[in-house]
């Protein structure tokens, strides 16, 4: 059993409440893409993974696991590659600011981060949001000083589920991949953990994923990262 010395966290659904943080932002962007047409905007939201019946984002959907570039490609299929590139930059800027300002921390997440940092774990974020968005959110949550780095989809050659962020965190900290735990609420997070040779793949049920979809790929399934310090302590002395 590998000794874990570093932890990479997904952001949305792991550190912050995905539904509470992102619905209004996504809805506004969809309405803009639909030129103010409410019915079309709802259709775009559904296409990207919002379930209006259950009032939640679907697990592993474009919203839940994709990048801003993925959303732009889905919502603007007729746009040229250059136009999509420019729109993605605009999405990144808007979501970085609004995602941070409207971020709702999950219960116990800030306390868990403080405890883990105090125990000496190296901490990082691996997200398919932009790097700027992740950094601004950590500042808004008051925990940025405890993290070594945040890796957005624009900080690596290949975003999740590719293992690039694990390797980048390994290079930055000097830790081996098997000394790193990856924590997230979607299959992309666990797929990245496996592809990168992470020492531990931790699923949390605080986001869009379910136990049924996550358990087959996870070493452990926790309710949220509030349970992570206790789990790691028990594992270390097992």
86 lies in the same domain as 113? no
Same domain, residue pair 222 and 187: yes
DSSP letters along 164-204, please?
HHHHHHHHHH---GGGEEEEESSHHHHHHHHHTT-SEEEEE
Domain shared by 72 and 114, yes or no: no
How many residues comprise the chain? 238
Q: Is residue 131 part of a domain?
A: yes
Q: Compute CA distances 159 → 55, 126, 128, 177, whole Å.
A: 27, 9, 6, 17
Longest dimension (CA), the chain: 58
126 vs 134: CA distance, rounded Å: 9
Tokens in use for 78? 């007729």
Co-location of 149 and 208 in the same domain:
yes
Last residue of a domain, one of 58, 74, 101: 101
65 and 113 within one domain: no
Mean pLDDT within 137-147: 98
Overall average pLDDT of the 86-115 stretch = 96
Domain housing 182: 6-17+104-236
63, part of any domain: yes
The domain total for the chain is: 2
pLDDT score recorded for residue 190 = 98
* CA–CA separation, 106 and 226 (whole Å): 9
For residue 93, is pLDDT > 90?
yes
Q: What is the pLDDT of residue 123?
A: 99
The pLDDT > 90 percentage for the chain reads 96
Which residue, of 71, 101, 131, is where some domain finishes? Answer: 101
Whether residue 1 lies inside any domain: the answer is no
Mind listing the pLDDT tens digit for each residue in 189-201? Answer: 999 999 999 999 9
Does residue 124 sit within a domain? yes
- Structure-block tokens of residue 87: 């729109």
| Co-location of 115 and 168 in the same domain | yes
Asked if residue 40 belongs to a domain, the reply is yes
Contact 137, 17 (CB under 8 A): no
Please give the mean pLDDT across all residues of the chain.
96
Say whether both 120 and 75 belong to one domain.
no
CATH number at residue 138: 3.40.50.1000
CA distance 209 to 212: 8
Q: Answer yes or no: do 135 and 158 share one domain.
A: yes
Condensed to tens digits (0 to 9), the pLDDT of residues 116-139 reads: 999 999 999 999 999 999 999 999
Share of the chain above pLDDT 70, in %: 99
Q: Which of 37, 67, 101 is the last residue of a domain?
A: 101
- Sign (positive or negative) of CA dihedral 118, 124, 129, 131: positive
C-alpha dihedral (52, 54, 55, 58), degrees to nearest 10:
-90
Decide if 181 is inside a domain. Answer: yes
- Other CB atoms within 10 Å distance of the CB of residue 196: 25
User: Are both 82 and 39 inside the same structural domain?
Assistant: yes
* Residue 237: predicted pLDDT: 74
Establish if 89 belongs to a structural domain: yes
Whether residue 198 is contained in a domain is answered as: yes
- Nearest C-alpha neighbor of 106 from the set 215, 159, 185: 185
Model confidence over 155-191: pLDDT tens digits? 999 999 999 999 999 999 999 999 999 999 999 999 9
- 89 and 167 housed in the same domain: no
- Indicate if the pLDDT at residue 2 is higher than 90: no
* pLDDT tens readout for residues 44-67: 999 999 999 999 999 999 999 999
Q: Specify the pLDDT at position 238.
A: 63
| Residues 110, 162 share a domain | yes
* CA 182 – CA 9 distance, rounded (Å): 6
95 in the same domain as 13: no
């Amino acid at each position: 059993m590998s000794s874990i010395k570093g932890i990479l966290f997904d952001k949305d659904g792991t550190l912050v409440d995905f539904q509470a943080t992102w619905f209004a932002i996504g809805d506004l962007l969809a309405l803009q893409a639909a030129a103010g047409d409410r019915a079309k905007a709802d259709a775009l939201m559904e296409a990207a993974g919002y379930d209006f019946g259950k009032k939640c984002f679907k697990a592993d959907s474009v919203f839940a696991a994709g990048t801003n570039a993925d959303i732009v490609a889905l919502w603007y299929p007729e746009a040229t590659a250059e136009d999509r590139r420019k729109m993605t930059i605009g999405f990144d800027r808007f979501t970085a600011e609004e995602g941070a300002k409207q971020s709702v921390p999950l219960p116990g997440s800030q306390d868990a981060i403080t405890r883990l940092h105090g125990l000496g774990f190296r901490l990082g974020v691996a997200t398919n949001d932009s790097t700027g968005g992740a950094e601004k959110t950590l500042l808004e949550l008051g925990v940025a000083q405890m993290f070594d780095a945040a890796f957005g989809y624009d900080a690596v050659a290949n975003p999740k589920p590719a293992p690039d962020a694990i390797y980048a965190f390994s290079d930055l900290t000097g830790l081996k991949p098997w000394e790193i735990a990856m924590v997230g609420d979607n299959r992309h997070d666990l797929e990245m953990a496996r592809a990168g040779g992470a020492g531990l793949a931790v699923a949390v049920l605080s986001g869009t994923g379910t136990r049924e979809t996550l358990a087959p790929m996870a070493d452990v399934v926790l309710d949220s990262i509030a349970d992570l310090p206790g789990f790691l302590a028990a594992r270390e002395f097992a």
